[in-house]
């Protein structure tokens, strides 16, 4: 199953019996916005509560470490997701935020039938997808049957080693101004991991907010990777959320196997690691 679905393709699936739509919008008003309007029959997941185990100190795993497997397995069951379910997840940022994180986590749970909605809720509304409001209703199921994350991740030390290895590649998907250290809106220090290359996740999208074609993404990332195999690539962002957008783009391009550095810059900058600014490598 291709990892990205268009609004038009989703319209054709709207009556599929095993379809579960997941709304992964973020921000302080996300739950309120969901109650006011969401795609018909969607269920809601909260990045801070459901898709991460937010620590007291981001030096230990970053701002959005993965939750315990047992907690995520229980969440999936509560949202009516089983191994037979076709899941489509969306957010309000073109899939660039928690929708991609949920996609990665569900893939890491071993689920194969999961796609991100290109263009997010805005594109679906433009395409005429029906909407609903109020609390979600879903049939609760047993916990999803998985016991460990099945996609590759990298920790602080592996990322440090990879960033200085000419046979590996560390990709920073944050906006250029954050990578360059011009300012930092979230974490305490501005800059980037020495040796990391900056490829902002926004480059994965067209001007209309929908994903670039698989062919365009393949051309872009194959040129970037060169002789480095995807398995030797580590992708990071600020806290391991939007990095999943580029992992999704790589998957769409047919370049599978890159690792997620979950702790990302939020962990790196709090642990006395070397930091660079500007175009410095």
CA 110 to chain centre: 16
Hunting for tokens 């962002």 — which residue is that? 237
Strand partners, 19: 86
Q: Any idea which residues carry the catalytic annotation?
A: 237
**Residue 179 DSSP symbol:** H
Question: Which tokens go with 206?
Answer: 């067209």
Strand 131-132 vs strand 38-39: parallel, antiparallel, or unpaired?
A: antiparallel
Phi, psi of 186 (to 5 degrees): -125, -55
Question: Which tokens go with 30?
Answer: 């996300």
Strand partners, 259: 234
202 Rama class: left (phi>0) / alpha (psi -120 to 50) / beta? alpha
Distance CA 225, CA 102 (A): 25
């Amino acid at each position: 199953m291709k990892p990205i679905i268009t609004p038009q393709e989703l319209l054709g699936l709207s009556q599929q019996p095993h379809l579960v739509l997941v709304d992964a919008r973020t921000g302080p008003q996300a739950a309120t916005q969901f109650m006011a309007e969401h795609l018909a029959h969607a269920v809601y997941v909260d990045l801070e509560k459901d898709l991460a185990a937010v620590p007291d100190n981001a030096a230990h795993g970053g701002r959005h470490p993965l939750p315990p497997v047992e907690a995520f397995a229980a969440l999936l069951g509560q949202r009516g997701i089983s191994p037979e379910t076709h899941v489509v997840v969306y957010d309000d940022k073109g899939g660039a935020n928690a929708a991609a994180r949920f996609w990665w986590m569900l893939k890491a749970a071993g689920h194969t039938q999961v796609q991100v909605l290109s263009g997010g809720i805005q594109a679906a509304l433009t395409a005429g997808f029906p909407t609903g409001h109020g609390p979600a209703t879903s049939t609760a199921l047993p916990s999803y049957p998985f016991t460990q994350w099945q996609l590759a991740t990298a920790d602080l030390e592996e990322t440090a080693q990879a960033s200085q290895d000419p046979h590996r590649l560390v990709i920073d998907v944050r906006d250029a101004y954050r990578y360059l250290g011009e300012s930092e809106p979230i974490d305490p220090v501005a800059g980037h991991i020495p040796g990391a290359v900056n490829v902002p996740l926004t480059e994965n999208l067209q001007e209309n907010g929908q994903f670039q074609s698989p062919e365009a993404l393949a051309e872009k990332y194959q040129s970037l990777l060169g002789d480095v195999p995807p398995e030797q690539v580590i992708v990071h962002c600020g806290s391991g959320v939007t990095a999943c957008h580029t992992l999704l783009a790589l998957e769409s391009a047919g370049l599978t196997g890159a690792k997620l550095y979950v702790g990302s810059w939020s962990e790196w900058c709090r642990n006395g690691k070397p930091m660079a600014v500007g175009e410095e490598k």
